[in-house]
C-alpha cells in the first residue's frame, strides 16, 4: 500500500520566499551504512564501519548499523515514502562491500540487485537517482592492505566506479565520487573518532590525496566508458571565523580554512595544494606523483556542498559555542544560516565553480512522537532558513543547482549512534515504523508552492 502523508495543521515557518529557477533540484539524502541494515546478508563483505563499531568505546550508545532503518528489507515502502514527499531527487550511496565484497575482483550479484531495484524504483516513481560511490564504508579487505593510505586503493576505486556504471547503465541522474573526503581523512585517520580509527596526520594527508586522485581518475574513466551522467564530488565546507580579532586567532582561522576548504578546493579547481598549508604540514605533506595534480583537477560537472554550521576557531582554547548566543542543534552545532550564504558567495568568488548543489543540510533535534505526529518546529525552521540562505546566494549570482535535506529518515549517526535524529521522517527503531514529521509536511508543501509558482507539475506527475 502506498505510503500517504495525511495533511494536518503543521507549523509554518517564515517562507523562504523567492521562487527558485525552473530545473532547480529539490531532494532528500541518506547513505548506505546509516540506513540499509542487512549488514551480513546475501554475500555482503565487511566494511570498515562494521569493524569499527565492534571496537568498545567507538560509538556513543554502543550501537552499530547492522539493522539501522532496515531499509533494504523495506525498499518498496521507503520508495513510496520518497515519492510521497514529491521531491525531484533522492541522494543515496552504494555500499562498496555489498557489491564487491573484497573491494576488488568478484562482484556480488545479490548486492548489485539491491541498487538496481532502488534505481528502477526511483525512476518508475519519477524521482531522479543521485548516486554516491563512497560514503565512508570502505571494504575491510582493502583496509587490511592499508585502505586509502595505499595508492593501490585508487585503482580499485576506479574499477568499482566503472563496475557500478556498467551495472546501472545510464539510469542514474548524477554520480558523486566521494562524500566528505575531509571527514574520512581527518576524523578517520588523524583523530581516530571515525572508522578506521587511525591517529596519524601524515597518514591522513596521504589518504586525502588518494581520495582526490581517485576522484579525478574515476571521472576520467567513467567518461571514457561513455557515462553521460554529471559527475562531481561532495565536500563538507564551513566558513571559518576567528573567535576574536587578535592576530593569533586570525592566523589560526586562516590555517583551519586551509585544512578544511582550500586543501580540497584548490587542487580540484586550481590544480595545486595551497602553499601555506604545505609549509605548515612539512614532513606530513603527502607524496604526490607526476600527473596527480592534473588528474585531480579534471573538470567536474557539479560540486556538492554539505553545510551544517560555521566553524569558530581560537588560537588557544576550543571555542565555547554556548557563549555565542545562537541556538544549538542536538549535535551542539550552532544554527547559523547566514554562514551558508557567506560560504557559497566565497567559493563562487574564489574559484571557477561548476553548478553547486547543497547535497546535505539539516538539523538533529530531540523529537517526541505523540499521536502519530512529530512537531519538529526547530527542524522546520532550520531547513526553511537555510533554503532562504541558498536563495540569497542565488540572487547574488552563485550558480546554485539544487538543495537536499539531510536526512530522509532518522538513522545511524556514526559515532553518535541512534540518539541524534536528523530525519524529516521519524523512525521508531523498535517497530521500524516511519512517521512523517511536521518538517516533511512543510517541505512537501513548500515544493508544491514552488512548482505552482512556476506552473510546473511534480516530476512524478510528468513521468520524468
Ligand atoms: C555529514 C555526513 C552524513 C551525516 C551528517 C549529519 O557529515 O555526510 O552522513 O552524518 O553529517
pLDDT at residue 16, as a whole number: 79
User: By percentage, how much of the chain surpasses pLDDT 90?
Assistant: 90
Please name the residue ranges forming H helices in 284-436: 292-296, 338-350, 377-395
Considering the entire predicted model, what is its pTM? 0.96
pLDDT above 60 for 5: no
Assess whether the C-beta atom of 450 lies below 6 angstroms from ligand 1.
no
pLDDT at residue 14, as a whole number: 64
Query: What is the mean pLDDT of the segment spanning 312-331?
Result: 93
Q: Judge whether 109 counts as a catalytic residue.
A: no
pLDDT at residue 10, as a whole number: 60
pLDDT at residue 282, as a whole number: 98
Q: Which of 86, 180, 190, 334 is catalytic?
A: 180
What band does 323 get if pLDDT is binned at 50, 70 and 90?
confident
3-state secondary structure of 291: coil
pLDDT at residue 318, as a whole number: 86
- Summarised one tens digit per residue, pLDDT across range 394-418 is 999 999 999 999 999 999 999 999 9
pLDDT above 50 for 463: no
Assess whether the C-beta atom of 410 lies below 6 angstroms from ligand 1.
no
pLDDT at residue 335, as a whole number: 98
The residues, ordered by sequence, that sit 6+ positions from 220 with a Cβ below 8 Å of its Cβ are 295, 298
In this structure, are residues 364 and 422 in contact, taking their beta carbons and an 8 Å threshold? yes
CATH number of 25-455: 3.20.20.80
What band does 456 get if pLDDT is binned at 50, 70 and 90?
confident
Q: Is the peptide bond before 407 cis (omega within 30 degrees of 0)?
A: yes
- Summarised one tens digit per residue, pLDDT across range 145-170 is 999 999 999 999 999 999 999 999 88
Distance separating alpha carbons of residues 281 and 205, to the nearest angstrom: 9
Question: Which atom of ligand 1 approaches the CA of 420 most closely?
Answer: 6
Q: What value does the mean pLDDT of the chain take? A: 95
Amino acid at each position: 500500500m502506498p505510503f500517504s502523508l495525511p495533511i494536518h495543521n503543521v507549523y509554518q515557518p517564515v517562507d523562504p520566499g523567492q521562487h527558485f529557477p525552473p530545473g532547480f533540484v529539490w531532494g532528500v539524502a541518506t547513505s548506505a551504512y546509516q540506513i540499509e541494515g542487512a549488514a551480513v546478508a546475501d554475500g555482503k563483505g565487511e566494511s570498515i564501519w562494521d569493524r569499527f563499531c565492534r571496537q568498545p568505546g567507538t560509538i556513543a550508545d554502543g550501537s552499530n548499523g547492522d539493522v539501522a532503518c532496515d531499509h533494504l528489507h523495506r525498499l518498496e515502502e521507503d520508495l513510496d515514502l520518497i515519492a510521497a514527499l514529491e521531491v525531484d531527487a533522492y541522494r543515496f550511496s552504494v555500499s562498496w562491500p555489498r557489491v564487491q565484497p573484497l573491494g576488488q575482483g568478484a562482484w556480488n550479484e545479490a548486492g548489485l540487485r539491491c541498487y538496481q531495484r532502488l534505481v528502477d524504483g526511483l525512476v518508475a516513481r519519477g524521482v531522479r537517482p543521485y548516486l554516491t560511490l563512497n560514503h565512508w564504508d570502505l571494504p575491510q579487505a582493502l583496509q587490511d592492505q592499508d585502505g586509502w593510505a595505499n595508492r593501490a586503493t585508487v585503482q580499485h576505486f576506479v574499477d568499482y566506479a566503472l563496475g557500478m556504471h556498467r551495472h546501472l547503465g545510464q539510469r542514474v541522474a548524477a554520480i558523486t565520487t566521494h562524500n566528505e573526503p575531509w571527514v574520512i581523512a581527518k576524523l578517520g585517520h588523524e583523530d581516530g573518532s571515525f572508522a578506521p580509527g587511525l591517529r596519524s596526520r601524515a597518514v591522513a594527508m596521504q589518504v586525502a590525496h588518494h581520495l582526490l586522485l581517485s576522484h579525478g581518475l574515476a571521472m576520467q574513466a567513467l567518461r571514457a566508458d561513455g557515462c553521460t551522467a554529471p559527475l562531481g564530488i561532495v565536500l563538507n565546507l564551513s566558513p571559518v571565523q576567528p573567535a576574536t580579532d587578535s592576530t593569533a586567532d586570525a592566523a589560526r582561522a586562516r590555517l583551519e580554512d586551509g585544512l578544511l576548504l582550500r586543501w580540497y578546493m584548490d587542487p580540484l579547481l586550481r590544480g595545486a595544494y595551497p602553499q601555506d598549508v604545505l609549509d605548515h604540514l612539512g614532513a606530513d605533506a603527502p607524496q604526490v606523483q607526476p600527473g596527480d595534480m592534473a588528474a585531480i583537477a579534471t573538470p567536474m560537472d557539479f560540486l556538492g556542498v554539505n553545510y551544517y554550521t560555521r566553524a569558530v576557531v581560537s588560537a588557544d582554547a576550543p571555542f565555547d559555542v554556548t557563549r555565542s548566543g545562537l541556538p544549538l542543534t542536538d549535535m551542539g552545532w550552532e544554527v547559523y544560516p547566514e554562514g551558508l550564504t557567506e560560504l557559497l558567495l566565497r567559493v563562487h568568488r574564489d574559484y571557477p565553480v561548476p553548478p553547486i548543489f547543497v547535497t546535505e543540510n539539516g538539523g538533529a533535534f530531540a523529537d517526541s512522537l505523540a499521536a502519530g505526529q512529530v512537531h519538529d518546529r526547530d527542524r522546520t525552521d532550520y531547513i526553511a532558513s537555510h533554503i532562504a540562505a541558498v536563495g540569497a546566494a542565488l540572487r547574488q549570482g552563485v550558480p546554485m543547482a539544487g538543495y537536499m535535506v539531510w536526512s530522509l529518515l532518522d538513522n545511524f549517526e556514526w559515532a553518535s549512534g541512534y540518539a541524534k535524529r536528523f530525519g524529516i521522517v521519524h523512525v521508531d527503531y523498535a517497530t521500524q515504523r516511519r512517521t512523517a514529521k511536521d518538517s516533511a509536511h512543510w517541505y512537501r508543501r513548500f515544493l508544491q508552492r514552488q512548482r505552482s509558482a512556476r506552473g510546473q507539475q511534480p516530476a512524478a506527475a510528468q513521468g520524468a
